[in-house]
Amino acid sequence: GAVVSQHPSRVICKSGTSVKIECRSLDFQATTMFWYRQFPKKSLMLMATSNEGSKATYEQGVEKDKFLINHASLTLSTLTVTSAHPEDSSFYICSAREWGGPYEQYFGPGTRLTVT
Amino acid sequence: DAKTTQPTSMDCAEGRAANLPCNHSTISGNEYVYWYRQIHSQGPQYIIHGLKNNETNEMASLIITEDRKSSTLILPHATLRDTAVYYCIVRAPLPGGATNKLIFGTGTLLAVQP
């Protein structure tokens, strides 16, 4: 199946700083990517839909100024957690579907963010 | 998208078939049934999907009832590495081939026992 990568896999940052997480589709082009977050022992919660060349669509309750999403190319979407606080500590996961391909989506391995 | 209901957890003996049920009684005619699994601290992995016919691939089989109100994912010979949370999701395609979002429920924690 198609491969989605994320970088970094783990990051620890201090409260008040910003952190950027990259999501790449390695062997396919993706016009749409999705960002999820997952707290311990909980399910994945969709944060936003990232469309190449346009503004992201955020789910209700997700602050767009706090979680900045940029989808600059067909293979790269970034999520920046701005002014991070300890409650932003979570597992962030992206997913993508190949443009024009089958309907299944492929997920990245996730990024573990810890804010101290 | 229709809601799904899955048991919270299940056990299965290694080497035996694991049958994971999912209820989706409010499914619409154009909604597909998808199954993903998530091994601890990893991203979800696509398993299989179907609309109304039963489907099989190298990982699993998907049995959808005739009225489409429920389905069963079958792992024919479970191994310890199949221990994971299994998510059943129903989703309709968007017009023009666009990608619709996947909304995850709580899933079933399958524990394969040696």
B89 CA to centre of own chain:
7
Asked if pLDDT for residue B97 goes beyond 70, the answer is no
- CB contact under 8 Å between B46 and A108, yes or no, is no
Burial of A76 (0-12, 13-18, 19+ CB in 10 A): middle
Quickly list DSSP for A17-53: --EEEEEEESSS--SEEEEEEE-TTS--EEEEEEETT
How many other CB atoms are found less than 10 A from the CB of residue A70?
Answer: 15
Query: Per mean pLDDT, which range of A14-23, A80-89, B90-99 is the poorest?
Result: B90-99
Choose the mutation target among B34, B37, B46 for the interface with A, i.e. most A CBs under 10 Å. B46
Among B43, B103, B105, the residue with its CB nearest the CB of A107 is B43
In this predicted model, which residue has the larger pLDDT, A2 or A50?
Answer: A50
Chain-chain contact of A43 with B105 (C-beta, under 8 angstroms): yes
SS3 letters for chain B?
A: CCCCECCCEEEEECCCCEEEEEECCCCCCCCEEEEEEECCCCCCEEEEEECCCCEECCCCEEEECCCCCEEEEEECCCCHHHCEEEEEEEECCCHHHCCCCCCCCCCEEEEEEC
Among A3-7, A24-28, B98-102, B109-113, the least confident range: B98-102
In this structure, of A56-60, A101-105, A106-110, B71-75, the range with the lowest mean pLDDT score is A101-105
